[in-house]
């Protein structure tokens, strides 16, 4: 946790209060496109300004840079350098530029130019605020105001009594906190926040305004706390002071799903589906999708707000990302599960056959890295069902009695496993009997009661699978076991993803007969 917030100090959020307008010098140039800069806002560590091109159809480049870094560069050099950057991103139409982690009391420049420009850069000067010493934590207070509450938006304003103190400020759904049973526990909310690796993006200074995109008929909580003594609060060496303000959005106008996306050409197999999707927003619109089982989808709709479908889809995508070793901000990029414009989608992992699913499709902001920061709660739901399994292509499964071998101070538990030519994957795993209520659901004639526990297995490898198809079978070994009570799981799958499963219990007394 210490490492998290030491890093967070370098990534302060783009949240602002003061504003001003300034007319830049846009004369000359070769493209004929001029730019206006409006709604400029700064804090000690952040800056934001809206860029408005004279021609909304033209691609352009814009950024906020420290003025000193371009002081000696000509416009032509600035254009050349920015066009050659590896992280170049083109913009079109009015856009907000933002920068965070800036130096206090320092001049920055917003620059913009059309991609066809060769010698003229539009500029706008921004100066971050000066800072003073933070006041003691016991004197620091934050007043939170919520105004302009509409069905899908609201404005949250934090007014601290010291502009020098850094503090965390964000609006969170009540559902997110209720999911962990912590809505009424200030300390647990604080702990939940600091465990989020994206929390540093919501640390700010001075009076801060959040213009929030929200869901209709949803409960929210605006929360804030002093960042200067977060470690003492975490260690319970200081009083927990969480400033909070609850509010609820009203009912909104219903959104016709057909106005969001056009879907066509749905087809299914035993383990997959295919669907053509076209966003109606624009061909440049970014979107993604998440696959629900129909039963889970309907249960969520029956017990929660409809908007939670998208939020839970964000969480699901984040889980997929974490399992593969990257973050939410990566999985919504177009090289993974993110899409741009018209695309054909399919399952990102094999589906169960003869099962009803719902593909939930929704727009995303590709710059968002926090799975709790929903861009748009509206979505399209497309139902489909995978094909039923074939009766003549089932993978068989035979598992021998356990063969226990003494191996130094521990034991290995071995099984001979056999299957047939229809098997495409063989998985095995183990779990302690007392870890879960296996006794309550145990039935050797019906593994459906412990179906969820078959997650405790992994592929044994192609070589072992091939051996299992032979007359002798394959020996599957579990090593490093103590004399305890275990459950061993086995599963084979065929090409249609039909599972044949088997589980066996090995009790402590069985280790007395070890070889």
Tell me how far apart the alpha carbons of residues 125 and 54 are, in angstroms, rounded to a whole number.
20
> Using an 8 Å Cβ cutoff, are 434 and 402 in contact?
no
**Is the pLDDT assigned to residue 161 strictly greater than 90?**
no
**Is the pLDDT assigned to residue 2 strictly greater than 50?**
no
Q: In what order do the strands lie in the sheet containing 35-42?
A: 20-22, 35-42, 47-53, 95-99
Tell me how far apart the alpha carbons of residues 238 and 140 are, in angstroms, rounded to a whole number.
13
Pull the structure tokens for residue 157.
Answer: 């304003």
How confident is residue 130, by pLDDT bands cut at 50, 70 and 90? confident
User: Residues 43-67: what's their mean pLDDT?
Assistant: 92
pLDDT of residue 29: 57
- Number of helices (H), then strands (E), in the chain: 11, 30
Q: Which three-class secondary structure string do you get for 322-344?
A: HHCCCCHHHHCCCCCCCEECCEE
Global confidence as pTM: 0.59
Enter the DSSP assignment of 16: B
CATH level 3 topology of 257-385: Immunoglobulin-like (2.60.40)
Residues 419-434 have pLDDT tens digits of 999 999 999 999 898 8
pLDDT of residue 257: 84
Mean pLDDT comparison of 62-66, 368-372, 495-499, highest-scoring range:
62-66
Nearest to 474 by CA among 411, 404, 407, 419: 419
Residues 341-393 have pLDDT tens digits of 999 999 999 898 899 999 999 999 999 988 888 889 999 999 999 999 888 88
Q: Which CATH number is 132-248's, of 1.10.357, 2.60.40, 2.50.20, 1.10.287?
A: 2.60.40
> Using an 8 Å Cβ cutoff, are 111 and 75 in contact?
no
First to last CA, the chain: 47
> Using an 8 Å Cβ cutoff, are 47 and 204 in contact?
no
**Is the pLDDT assigned to residue 7 strictly greater than 60?**
no
Bridge partners (DSSP) listed for residue 184? none
User: ∠ CA 39-42-48 to the nearest 5 degrees?
Assistant: 50
Side-chain-side CA neighbours of 105 within 13 Å: the count stands at 4
CATH assignment of 20-127? Answer: 2.60.40
Pull the structure tokens for residue 331.
Answer: 């999985």
pLDDT of residue 19: 28
Rounded percentage of the chain residues whose pLDDT exceeds 90: 64
**Is the pLDDT assigned to residue 26 strictly greater than 80?**
no
Tell me how far apart the alpha carbons of residues 515 and 193 are, in angstroms, rounded to a whole number.
53
Tell me how far apart the alpha carbons of residues 38 and 57 are, in angstroms, rounded to a whole number.
19
Nearest to 53 by CA among 73, 38, 70: 38
pLDDT of residue 30: 65
Pull the structure tokens for residue 185.
Answer: 């526990």
User: ∠ CA 209-176-207 to the nearest 5 degrees?
Assistant: 15
**Is the pLDDT assigned to residue 221 strictly greater than 90?**
yes
Conformation bin of residue 67: beta by default, left when phi > 0, alpha when psi is -120 to 50:
alpha
User: Residues 499-512: what's their mean pLDDT?
Assistant: 92
Residues 452-493 have pLDDT tens digits of 676 777 898 999 999 999 999 999 999 999 999 999 999 999
* Mean predicted lDDT score pLDDT of the chain: 88
User: Residues 184-194: what's their mean pLDDT?
Assistant: 95
Tell me how far apart the alpha carbons of residues 515 and 505 are, in angstroms, rounded to a whole number.
18
> Using an 8 Å Cβ cutoff, are 285 and 334 in contact?
no
Please count the residues of the chain.
Answer: 515
Domain range list for the chain? 20-127, 132-248, 257-385, 398-513
pLDDT of residue 105: 80
Residues 272-310 have pLDDT tens digits of 999 999 999 888 899 999 999 999 999 999 988 888 899
Q: Homologous superfamily of 398-513 in CATH?
A: Immunoglobulins (2.60.40.10)
* Within this chain, domains 132-248 and 398-513 share the same CATH topology: yes
User: ∠ CA 68-71-74 to the nearest 5 degrees?
Assistant: 145
**Is the pLDDT assigned to residue 514 strictly greater than 80?**
yes
């Amino acid at each position: 946790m210490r490492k998290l917030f030491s890093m967070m100090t370098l990534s302060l959020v783009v949240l602002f209060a003061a504003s001003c307008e300034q007319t830049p010098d846009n004369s000359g140039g070769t493209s004929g496109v001029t730019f206006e800069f409006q709604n400029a806002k700064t804090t000690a560590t952040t800056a934001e300004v809206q860029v408005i091109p004279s021609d909304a159809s033209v691609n352009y480049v814009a950024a906020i840079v420290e003025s000193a870094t371009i002081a000696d560069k000509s416009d032509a050099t600035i254009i050349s350098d920015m066009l050659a950057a590896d992280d170049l991103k083109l913009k079109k139409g009015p856009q907000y530029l933002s920068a965070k982690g800036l130096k206090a009391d320092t001049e920055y420049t917003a620059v913009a130019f059309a991609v066809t420009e060769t010698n003229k850069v539009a500029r706008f000067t921004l100066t971050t605020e000066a800072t003073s010493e933070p006041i003691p934590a016991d004197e620091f207070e934050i007043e939170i105001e919520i105004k302009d509450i509409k069905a899908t938006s609201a404005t949250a304003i934090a007014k601290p009594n010291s502009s020098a103190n850094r503090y965390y400020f964000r609006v969170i759904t009540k559902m997110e906190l209720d999911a962990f049973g912590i809505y009424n526990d200030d300390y647990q909310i604080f702990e939940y926040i600091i465990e989020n690796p994206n929390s540093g993006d919501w640390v700010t200074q001075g009076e801060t305004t959040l213009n929030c995109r929200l869901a209709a008929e949803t409960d929210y909580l605006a929360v804030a706390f002093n960042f200067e003594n977060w470690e003492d609060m975490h260690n319970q060496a200081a009083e927990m002071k969480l400033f909070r303000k609850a509010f609820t959005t009203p009912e909104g106008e219903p959104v016709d799903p057909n106005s969001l996306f056009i879907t066509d050409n749905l087809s299914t197999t035993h383990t997959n589906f295919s669907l053509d999707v076209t966003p109606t927003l624009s061909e440049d619109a970014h979107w993604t999708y998440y696959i629900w089982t129909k039963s889970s989808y309907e249960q969520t709709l029956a017990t929660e707000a409809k908007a939670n479908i998208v939020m839970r889809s964000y969480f699901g995508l984040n889980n997929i990302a974490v399992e593969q070793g990257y973050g939410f901000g990566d999985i919504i990029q177009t090289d993974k599960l993110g899409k741009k414009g018209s695309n054909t989608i399919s399952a990102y992992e094999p589906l169960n056959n003869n099962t009803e699913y719902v593909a939930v499709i929704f727009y995303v902001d590709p710059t968002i890295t926090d799975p709790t920061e929903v861009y748009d709660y509206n979505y399209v739901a497309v139902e489909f069902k995978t094909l039923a399994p074939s009766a003549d292509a089932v993978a068989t499964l035979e598992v021998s009695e356990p063969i226990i071998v003494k191996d130094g101070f521990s034991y290995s538990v071995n099984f001979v496993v056999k299957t047939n030519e229809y098997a495409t994957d063989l998985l095995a795993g183990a779990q302690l009997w007392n870890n879960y209520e296996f006794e309550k659901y145990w039935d050797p004639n019906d593994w459906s009661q412990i179906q969820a526990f078959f997650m405790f297995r992994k592929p044994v490898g192609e070589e072992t699978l091939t051996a299992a198809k032979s007359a002798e079978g394959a020996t599957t070994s579990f090593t490093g076991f103590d004399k305890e009570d275990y459950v061993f799981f086995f599963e084979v799958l065929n090409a249609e993803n039909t599972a044949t499963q088997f589980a066996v219990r090995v009790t402590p007394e069985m280790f007395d007969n070890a070889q």
